[in-house]
Structure formats: C-alpha cells, structure tokens
Amino acid sequence: MQVQGCTGSIFPYDGGTCWGKSEWREVRTRPNPASACPKFEFIPGEISLTQSDGWTLQTSASKQELIGYPTAAKADGSGRISGTVIGGIRGLAVDFKVAWGNGHASHYYGDINPDGTITKGERDDIREAGAVDDNTTWRLNGALRCVA
C-alpha cells in the first residue's frame, strides 16, 4: 500500500495526517494478469455490497469514485448506520474507507475479477490502535463496467 499526500482528515484515529477527503491518495494495486480489461469503472448510481457478517452497505458511485453518504443495515433489520465514504477504483482493485456516524471507521478493499465482479473483498475496522483485521469479507452486488 502506498499513501501519498495525506493531509487533513474526516476519519477518526489518524492523527489528522492521512485520509483527508480532498487529498487522499491511497493506491492499492494488485495486478490481475488474467483480466483482459485494462480499466474498470462503476456504473454511476447506487451500488451495494453484502458483508459476511450480515450487513449490506449501500452508497452512490461516479465512474471511479464512491460518493455520498453510505448506509449499512443488517439483513434481519436489527441495525442501521450511516457515514461518509472516500475512495473508489484504484488500478484493478477497489479501495475505500467509511467513517461511520458512531465514531468507528472501516477500510474496504478487494481485487476486481476479470469479469468485473468482486467476490471476496476484505474489511478492516479502524480503531485508535490502528487497523484491526476482523475477518469480515464482502462481495459487490453486480459488476463493474470495462472501459477499454
């Protein structure tokens, strides 16, 4: 992972030096040599992903970036939360962070499969001590579009 030009912050626990909305430049690129598509983009509009812990996250997307105020809800209706998102497509991966309204934050990342799907993304919770791998995985509901 490479972090460039991080100043300011909308996320908790980073000391104000990283993940600033206007200057966040995290690049997580893990080349996918099997992909015939050199570049992917979101289909602009609403997107959703389903997590292994029973939560579904929904937010808006432009072609390369996630935008708006994501919400997450448990499938059984027992919980709902909203937050602020930053990030999007980085090379042949999706990499973004959410600052939740309850003061927690999450880092989501996943490789884009050759067909534009993401079937096993990972989520880390971000706490005062740093990122905590909580073994939660996620999949994108739908696929990304190939941009030749």
Q: What is the pLDDT of residues 9-44, one digit of tens each?
A: 444 444 443 443 333 334 444 455 555 788 999 998
- Calculate mean pLDDT across residues 93-108: 90
Cα separations (Å) of 110 from 31, 76, 80?
12, 25, 23
Q: pTM for the whole thing?
A: 0.76
Q: Are 5 and 30 in contact (CB under 8 A)?
A: no
Section 104-111 average pLDDT: 90
Worst-scoring range by mean pLDDT, 69-73, 104-108, 127-131?
127-131
Whole-angstrom distance, CA of residue 122 vs CA of residue 107: 8
